[in-house]
Amino acid sequence: MPDTTGLPAELAEIAEDFAELPVPERLQLLLEFSEELPALPERYAAAPESMEQVHECQSPLFLTVEVDEESAPEPGKRVVSLFFSAPPEAPTTRGFAGILHQGLDGLSVDEILAVPEDAPYRFSLAEAVSPLRLRGMVGMLSRIKRQVALKSRAA
């Protein structure tokens, strides 16, 4: 079983789903995540420069987060939304984004800030996609957390 200590429930479930599959099927599941990554809403699609590029990824990936100030009086309880942009010819990068979107979107500020830094290594993907590439996902997660910290403080 994968180590799911400290992972939010949805991410823990994703980690278990991957671990149960043989390696080739893990790639298929990653492909499904890449296909399920939601399209950008108009306000970002029209202004990609407002998003942050994740340079650790070998393919162009941009992300941004929104903290809903209306959702709770206490900053730590406010709801976070995640937005990602990656080209279709980069399905692995899109798949990483899809995992993080499904696992983290809609969680609170505190929940996201508590996600362990090594979470990307818990999805049993190192055999299938090479550890070097997983650093791209580590980069995404750390930038998400940094943006969440900044944007919840400013609020």
User: How is residue 34 written in tokens?
Assistant: 């890449």
CA distances from 54 to 57, 86, 118, 137 (A): 6, 10, 17, 9
Q: Which stretch binds other proteins (CB under 8 A): 10-18, 30-38, 41-49, 102-110?
A: 30-38
Choice between 15 and 128, CB closer to other proteins? 128
Instruction: Pick from 5, 70, 88, 154 the residue near other proteins by CB under 8 A.
Output: 88
| By the rule CB under 8 A, 138 interacts with other proteins | no
CB proximity list for 146: less than 8 A, separation 6 or greater: none
Q: Please, are residues 34 and 95 in contact by the beta-carbon 8 Å criterion?
A: yes
Which residues contact other proteins (rule: CB under 8 A)? 23, 27-28, 30-31, 34, 55-56, 58-59, 88-93, 95, 127-130, 132, 139
